Amino acid sequence: MKRFLMVMAVSLIVLAFAGTGLAADVLDITIPLPLTGSKAKFGEIEKRSYEIAAEEINAAGGIKGKKVVLHFEDSQGKPEISRAIAEKIIDVKKQPFVMGEYSSSCSKAIAAVAEERKVPYLVVTGASDTITQQNYKYVFRMNPSVSYYTGGLRSFLKKVVKPRTVAILYESTDFGTKGAEGMVKDAKKLGMKVVMKEKYESGAVDFKPILSKLKSKRPDVIYMVSYV
Q: What is the pLDDT of residues 112-148, one digit of tens each?
A: 999 999 999 999 999 999 999 999 999 999 998 888 8
207-218 mean pLDDT: 96
- Per the CB < 8 A criterion, the answer to whether 192 and 163 are in contact is yes
Closest CA to 195 of 160, 172, 164: 164
What pLDDT, on a 0 to 100 scale, did the predictor assign at position 9?
58
Q: Are strands 139-141 and 165-171 parallel, antiparallel or unpaired?
A: unpaired
Rounded CA-CA distance 46/40 in Å is 10
Global pTM value = 0.79
The backbone torsions φ and ψ at residue 142, rounded to the nearest 5 degrees and listed phi first, read -110, 0
- Per the CB < 8 A criterion, the answer to whether 116 and 48 are in contact is no
- Cβ neighbors of 84 (< 8 A, separation 6 or more) are none
pLDDT digits (tens, 9 = 90+) for 137-183: 999 999 988 888 888 788 899 999 999 999 999 999 888 998 999 99
Strands (E), the chain: 26-33, 67-74, 98-99, 121-123, 139-141, 165-171, 193-200, 221-225
- Per the CB < 8 A criterion, the answer to whether 133 and 112 are in contact is no
H-type helices in 118-207, by residue range?
151-156, 174-190
Continuous segment of H or E residues that includes residue 119: none
- Per the CB < 8 A criterion, the answer to whether 223 and 169 are in contact is yes
Q: In what order do the strands lie in the sheet with 193-200?
A: 193-200, 165-171, 221-225
Domains within the chain, CATH numbers bracketed: 2-143 (3.40.50.2300), 148-225 (3.40.50.2300)
Task: Report the Cα–Cα distance between both ends of the chain, in Å, rounded.
Answer: 25
The backbone torsions φ and ψ at residue 55, rounded to the nearest 5 degrees and listed phi first, read -60, -45
Average pLDDT, the chain: 89
pLDDT band at 23 (very low <50, low <70, confident <90, very high): low
- Cβ neighbors of 49 (< 8 A, separation 6 or more) are none
